[in-house]
Structure 1
């Protein structure tokens, strides 16, 4: 799965998205202070089904220390979701 940086009009907002297997994934970077999203510092991963109008679900373990850890968690979640009946 390839994440693409989302261009936003908000300066310093760091968001990436990707879709695969009928699911949409978003990684965002949060900090306690400063520009962008606020929360516990790190990379937060969430997902939702593409074809259903449902809110996103935050992945346990978020925030991750690195983008690569968040990407890896995304692959694990996708693998689990696509195996569900």
Structure 2
């Protein structure tokens, strides 16, 4: 199953969040900036993941923040590949 990100509609103007899920894992990408509406932090796209069926905090994907949304999406897909291999016992 291909993982496709969808933009989350937020009541906060200019807040940028995308979500996707696959194989029991949830992925979120958010845009952060030093100022303005939305999340504050180093400027860029921050990617994170967590298991869907467990109530636990998300884990930030290494390399975050990314310069582009496409880079963050690729990092999430690479993490999903790693998680799949781990589940399969490789």
In the TM superposition, what whole-angstrom CA distance separates every residue of 1:7-26 from its partner, at most 9, and x where no partner exists?
Answer: 11111110000000100000
For 1:39-58, list aligned pairs within 5 A. 39-58=41-60
Determine if the alignment matches structure 1 residue 82 to structure 2 residue 62: no
Aligned partners of 1:3 and 1:72: how far apart in 2?
11
Match of 1:32 in 2: 34
What secondary structure sits across from 2:20 in the alignment? strand
Match of 1:17 in 2: 19
> Runs ≥4 in structure 1, deviation > 2 angstroms?
none
Determine if the alignment matches structure 1 residue 62 to structure 2 residue 59: no
Give the TM-score normalised by structure 1: 0.97
Q: Which blocks of at least 5 consecutive residues in structure 1 are unaligned?
A: none
Let me know the Cα RMSD of the aligned residues. 0.6
Aligned partners of 1:74 and 1:8: how far apart in 2?
22
Cα deviation for residue 35 of structure 1 reads: 1.3
Aligned partners of 1:50 and 1:83: how far apart in 2?
17
Q: Which blocks of at least 5 consecutive residues in structure 2 are unaligned?
A: none
